[in-house]
Structure 1
Amino acid sequence: MKEKLFAIVPLLLISTVVFFSCKEKNTEPSKDQINEIGLKRGELVLCGSPDKHFGSVEFEISNKGKIKDDFNLAVALLHSFEYDEAEKAFAKIIDKSPDCAMAYWGVAMCNYHPLWTPPTKAELKKGAKAAEIARSIKPKSTREAEYIDAISSFYQNRDKSDHHTRSINFENGMAKVYRDFPEDKEAAVFYALALDAAADPADKTFKKQKKAGAILYSLYPNEPNHPGIAHYIIHTYDYPGLAQQALPMARRYANIAPSSAHALHMPSHIFTRLGLWDEAITSNLASVSSAQCYAPAAGIKGHWDEELHGLDYLVYAYLQKGDNKDAKKQCDYLQTITEVHPVNFKVAYAFAAIPSRYLFENKLWDKAAKLTVSPLNFPWKNFPWQAAIVHFTRLMGAVHIGSMDTAKAELAKLNVIHDTLTMQKDLYKANQVQIQIKAAEAWMQFKAGKNEDALNLMNQAADMEDKTEKHPVTPCEVIPARELLGDMLLEMNKPDKALIAYQADLKTHPNRFNGTYGVIMAAKKSGENITAESYQRQLLTFANPNKPASTH
């Protein structure tokens, strides 16, 4: 009996090994499973440099050979946030090698887009399906499995967890890849991105951003043409007090990936932070032109969202130069846009912010009070924070022309939006609306002759804004709260205090036209003539309308 048993055991062991070996060898997803993802497919469509430059990426994968170059291109596109085209590039790899687990990882990454707008429900579903297939494919390396686990953690509990919580999950997953594979430069780059994506907007120590920056700058000397390193350094230091550290990379990134509309635009984040308006204008003219080329080539009906994002930054830069002519030209052009793809967070912001900026910067209060929402067919109910910008603009316009009933009605709408965002647990945006509410109430109290109450509320608004960062989608708050405080103090004939408010605001928003002009007026009224002359010279260095005209 024992002899028979000993004869059977080796057979069982061999069978077990064969079983698991077969299982490891053949887990290629079926065509039906792949079709369920709903992949974007087609030839790559990109505008900008005719040579199609996106930088240099070397991402090691198990499936080498025929797909290596395709994979590196797809990752390069991903690093410049060219999500649609990157997904098409990953889909091409899947069509060639359906057993390539990392191609599905790439699709999942394309539908996350950290630092941008949160995924839609459809994108969450697609990304989760791609991640699920990536996890099911065997064999794959331990390193690849950890990359896939990291992005899978973002999609877990997507119906219950908020975007920020799931971004922290991704950060933790990439931290593991970074620890386990210290020689993998792509792990370091994506970990830095994950740190930026998971950073708390209220953290004024910038702990995660500084860690990300140290990682990225350590990589740059050996990877000067890597699009992700340059791109993420710009995002990492896109804050007052830090922006100067990213200026060399801002001036480099567009040359690394000139075929990407986003890469052409992204340097303007730093140029805007530092008040370098000519460079911001040049950057966004190139980006808008590239985006306008992309839309018809990609079969988009109407305009591409990247165009409107560039327009927002472009109008802001024109206004800070005192170039109302070109700013108005862009505002008028915006009014002709009725269809944009995709309809998302940054599109809604541009539609609301661009006309509001023009009215605020020029103090066109009568027109501000009558600002109409455009386009009419836009789903504003899905974007309450952006809709709040329009209500705030109307409210401030109404206050300044003495239409207090209208102001009260708009204030009520702002409070409803604040409560809606709070119920949605979108506390960052709820706080941004609360700043607007405080500022609006302050000006209503001021116009009612209650100066002490007005200053108390306006200081609260300015302090709240100082403690939080602007959203990465916007070049600046529609109107800085501390600048509004300076305006109020100047109208109260308190120029010495107005001077302090304006100067404090310019530390955060250097070379703002109205802030600088406010300092000049306040300094003159305070008898600070040397200060006034200094700022007047400064104003003349950047407020020079003799620059390249817009393309519209």
Structure 2
Amino acid sequence: MKNVHILIASLILLNLYSCKKQPKVITFSSLEVLNGDILLCGSGDFGTVDFATSCTTESSEMFNLGLSLLHSFEYTEAEKAFAKVLEVDPNCAIAFWGIAMCNFHSLWMQAGNAHLIKGNRLIEATTELKTTDRERAYINAIGAFYKDWQTVPHKQRIYLFEEGMRSVYETYPEDKEAAIFYALALRAIANPSDKTFKNQLKSGKILKSIFPSAPNHPGIAHYLIHNYDYPELAEKALPTAREYAKIAPASAHAQHMPSHIFTRLGLWEEAIASNLKSTEAALCYAEALGATAHWDEELHGMDYLVYAYLQLGANDKAAEQYDYLKTFYSVFPVNFKCAYAIAAIPGRIALENKDWEGAAQLELPEIAIPWEQFPWERSLYYFTKGYGAIRLGLIEEAEQELKAIKTAHRDLQKAENNYLADQVAIEIANLEAWMLFRKGSIDSAIQRMQEAKDMENNTQKHPVTPGELIPAAELLADLYMENGNIELAHSAYLDNLNQHPQRFNGLYGAAKTASMLNDLETAKMYFQQLLDLGQAYNSQRPELLEAKTFLEP
């Protein structure tokens, strides 16, 4: 196990306070605030922040640690750090803000209402406490998200948070943290269908303007990566991606985040290195906690690892991750990241290898997950089985899986989670298109598959996923190939590679169709790229053997 730094409360308080000045002891039970030892792996370094507060000077170091942890989405340990600030200074209102921010996961919608109840109580706890005008503005911004959560929709409350942070940013233009949190808020309200990336670019511009004066700030690097996590923008974040892990080496999430950009650009070796470090740090953290379950950050990194390994044809390495996953019994916290990885990892392995029988007969690892709470994530399982069945000609079995996916779609619509409902709608369109094809309705199948591709192109991927189980553009290309439309298939494979560079099956499809069109130079180019991918792991995938044969003099 890596070195684990346990910051024991009594030792911290001894450093923060002189022995003549004993801190007040407060109870957090009514607010359900996490407290206790702060567990940090490795160096314990999470970057540098400097947030001025009106609280005691003795608490400033711990407050800044909490803020650094928060900026890398290390929510649990960040909350414990802010709790320690309140142990030293129970009247530090901005520490309540910090805890409220730890329960606000800005870039995805959390399940349940517990975080909303807690956040609202935290904000109410600051009502009678003295603050500066600036601190109260920060508190009011996040307070707008929690207020009236029972009646105001989530999307509207996210916009209220953005409005609040915009006001802080405009009122205090020299405040770096105001700018950084406003930039995060802009990213949080970005429309997934906006292909101009208006909010992401505006947010990125703010962050890049600050970066030179705060090069070791974890939030700037982290949020820049989230802003540019798109094929069209990824190049903008590559230098930052290569720095973020150095800024916050103790954070499993910071080790992982650069792989978002590496994945967008097809830099598979860098993605693998990033997630090996991330999963190691995540395992260290779980061991430090004494947890018998596996932390969600470990599963998140594993999904990205499997995706990258598969693009290099490294089936053995991908299988190692899956075999390891099958040893898990429980995970913590039980959330969408865990559910997604558990469903996606086996699905990817079967579908990327065109193992239709394995896909059709897929069984999920026996890990304790309440799947009814995760309609989108469980739909991945149904999609894998359904698509595998279609490719085997088992239409009745596929129709049963499609029915299950449509149930998941209705669940998401009922919950008014339109973005995830759209993700599932793409899966439905993919399966319906291939069903039509298998039933002989060729023109209708192509039209439906085009619709699926257009839907996917107009709906940005969720931050949790390295990529779709199979991109719709690649499925369209496969359909053209099956139907003998080789020119259209070649064009579709190239279109897919523009969005998903260096995808193994995309390169193979482009090479194969070029050879069938007698465009030998293009075929050689793509077959060589494919061989280059598979060299490091001595892959034995049949596509690589075909490439070698084609390229032999």
TM-score normalized by the length of structure 2: 0.91
Counterpart code for 1:53: D
Cα distance in 1 for partners of 2:69, 2:368 equals: 32
Instruction: Establish whether residue 273 from structure 1 lines up as the match of residue 264 from structure 2.
Output: yes
Q: How far 1:301 sits from its partner (Å)?
A: 2.7
Q: 1:260 aligns with which of 251, 258, 270?
A: 251
Partners of 1:41 and 1:92 within 8 A in 2: yes
Task: Write the distance in 2 (CA, Å) between the matches of 1:546 and 1:432.
Answer: 33
More deviation, 270-279/430-439? 430-439
Counterpart among 102, 108, 117 of residue 100 in structure 2: 108
Unaligned runs of 5+ in 1: 1-28, 548-552
1:128 is matched with 120
Deviates more, 1:419-428 or 1:93-102: 419-428
What amino acid maps onto 2:121 in structure 1? K
Contact 2:346–2:364, Cα closer than 8 Å, also in 1? no
Question: 1:66-105 to 2 correspondence within 5 Å?
Answer: 66-105=58-97
How much does 1:119 deviate?
5.5
- Between the aligned partners of 1:376 and 1:301, the Cα distance in structure 2 is 13
Q: Percent identity?
A: 50
Could you tell me how far apart the structure 1 residues matched to 2:459 and 2:175 are?
34
Confirm whether residue 190 of structure 1 aligns to residue 186 of structure 2: no
Residue 181 of structure 2 is aligned to residue 211 of structure 1: no
| Bigger Cα displacement from structure 2, 413-422 vs 168-177 | 413-422
Q: Which residue of 2 aligns with 1:39?
A: 33
Question: Counterpart of 1:534?
Answer: 525
Rounded to whole Å, the distance in 2 between the matches of 1:290 and 1:455 is 46
The alpha carbon displacement at 1:165 in A equals 2.2
1:30 offset after TM fit, Å?
Answer: 10
Aligned to 1:233: 224
Question: C-alpha separation between the residues in 2 aligned to 1:157 and 1:37?
Answer: 18
2:435: which partner in 1? Answer: 444
Q: Secondary structure at the match of 2:493?
A: helix
Say which one has the larger Rg: 1
CA contact (8 A) 2:304 2:466 kept: yes
Q: Residue 416 of structure 2: which of 417, 425, 437 is its match?
A: 425
Task: Decide whether the 8 Å contact of 1:301 with 1:341 is kept in 2.
Answer: no
Alpha-carbon displacement from aligned partner over 1:48-73 (angstroms, at most 9, x marks no partner)? x3x31111100010114100111111
Q: Distance in 1 between matches of 2:473 and 2:370?
A: 32
Counterpart in 2 of 1:295? 286
What displacement does 1:228 show?
0.5
Q: Say yes or no: does 1:379 pair with 2:370.
A: yes
Letter in 1 for 2:49: V
SS of structure 1 residue aligned to 2:58: coil
Instruction: State the SS of the aligned residue for 2:126.
Output: helix
1:405 aligns with 2:405: no
Q: How far 1:539 moved relative to its partner? A: 2.2
What pairs with 1:132-531 in structure 2 (closer than 5 Å)?
132-138=124-130, 140-375=131-366, 377-531=368-522
How far, CA to CA, are the matches of 1:375 and 1:126 in structure 2?
A: 32
- Does the CA contact (< 8 Å) of 2:331 and 2:368 recur in 1? no
1:220-278 CA-to-partner distances (Å, cap 9, x unmatched) read 11111000011111111001110000000000000000001000001000000000000
The amino acid that maps onto 2:97 is W
Q: CA deviation at 1:134?
A: 2.4
Q: Secondary structure at the match of 2:226?
A: helix
2:542 counterpart residue number: none
Structure 1 residues 93 and 119 mapped into 2: Cα distance closer, same or farther (>3 Å)?
A: farther
3-state SS in 2 of match to 1:546:
coil
Closer, same or farther: CA 44–503 of 1 in aligned 2, 3 Å: same
TM-score normalized by the length of structure 1? 0.91
1:371-426 CA distance string (max 9 Å, x none): 12333632000001111110111100111112111111111111121122112111
**Equivalent residues of 2:351, 2:359 under 8 A apart:** yes
- Once residues 297 and 204 of structure 1 are traced to their aligned partners in structure 2, the CA distance between those partners, rounded to angstroms, is 43
User: Whole-Å Cα distance in 1 between the matches of residues 403 and 477 of structure 2?
Assistant: 26
Query: In structure 2, how many angstroms separate the alpha carbons of the residues matched to 1:452 and 1:277?
Result: 37
Aligned residues: CA RMSD: 1.6
SS state at 1:475 partner:
coil
**Which stretch of structure 1 is more off in the superposition, 441-450 or 77-86?**
441-450
| Cα contact 1:117–1:344 (8 A) shared by 2 | no
Deviates more, 1:194-203 or 1:260-269: 194-203
Give the superposition deviation at 1:350.
0.5
Question: Helix, strand or coil: the match of 1:45?
Answer: strand
